[in-house]
Structure 1
Amino acid sequence: MSNQDNQDEVLRWVERVATFCVEEWALPPITGRILGLLMICDPPERSAGEIAEAIQASRASLTSNMRFLAAIGLVRKVRVPGDRTTYYRIEDDAWHKVIQRKLDSLGAFGDIAEEGVKLAGGTGPGTERIRAAQRSLTWLRDLAARNPPNK
């Protein structure tokens, strides 16, 4: 397989990651492309210019997305001694952080559900719908707690 063929396959995979991020998490496609590229690239660090070129993004759009990813702890800046360029790399535990945030949000729904049950009067169809949602989300949270991802 030629280097170009491999590069094309890598970019197709990066696009699949982007599509997943759009469909599952409502992230902008560029954010998913950045994550996909930083997961698969070797070496694992890339400059903003290298990322922009690889995923064919504007520097302005890339900069705002890199700031977002850094702020939520999925990507970090890396400095190389003697090099003035800023590089970026995906955090080793990025996906664990994503999942943990989702699990935390499931736990937070419990308080919201309790308030809804009180507002619905504690009985009746509204209360049952709220309780069904609460049971499902609690089940998912508890399932994840019993089967944590390997670090």
Structure 2
Amino acid sequence: MTHSVNDLRFVERMGGALTDAGLPRLPSRAFAALLSDEDGRMTAAELAAALEVSPAGVSGAVNYLARVGMLRRERHRGSRRDVYVVDDDAWHTAMLRRDQLYAPMVGALDEAIADLGDDDPRRVRLVLTREFLVFVDEELADLATRWDDRRRALLRRSR
């Protein structure tokens, strides 16, 4: 599979933007490569070639992306080779996994808050942190519903 200069430019630019937003560099570039791939499906060897990195680097990158829900792993039929797939709506898919992100943090905060007295100076900071995460989680649920509506409208218009 060959990539055009524009594809490579996109991978570097989008990868850089994702890195600036806090994602590790190689997973950012791998996600960008999959996002810009014609069918959004690449093997580890294809990713390594496209990104000019080692297969070991690709392994760590795709494991990270799978863990955060930005891609999924499939098997070639009759083969032991994995294919890494980014869905057309990968951001939405990752966002729907918010319970795996926020619930453990809220649980840890609940435990810590329960162990503190009302006059403990740490209590306010921990309560505000917990309430912020609960607020964000609730807002993301509403946002996901609005996105579903908008996505359906976009898909209807594009047909």
Q: Report the Cα distance in structure 2 between the residues aligned to 1:71 and 1:135, rounded to whole angstroms.
A: 25
Residue 126 (structure 1) aligned with residue 126 (structure 2) = no
Q: Unpaired runs of 5+ in structure 2?
A: 152-159
SS at match of 2:29: helix
TM-score in terms of structure 2 length = 0.69
For residues 2-151 of structure 1, the aligned pairs below 5 Å read: 7-27=4-24, 29-70=25-66, 74-79=71-76, 87-92=83-88, 94-148=90-144, 149-150=147-148
Q: 1:90-120: CA deviations, max 9, x gaps?
A: 2455433422334432233332222222322
- CA distance 1:135–1:39, shift in 2 (3 Å): same
SS at match of 2:73: strand
Query: What code does the residue aligned with 2:105 have?
Result: F
Contact 1:75 1:94 in 2 (8 A): no
SS at match of 1:120: coil
Q: Over aligned residues, Cα RMSD in angstroms?
A: 3.1
TM-score in terms of structure 1 length = 0.72
SS at match of 1:88: strand
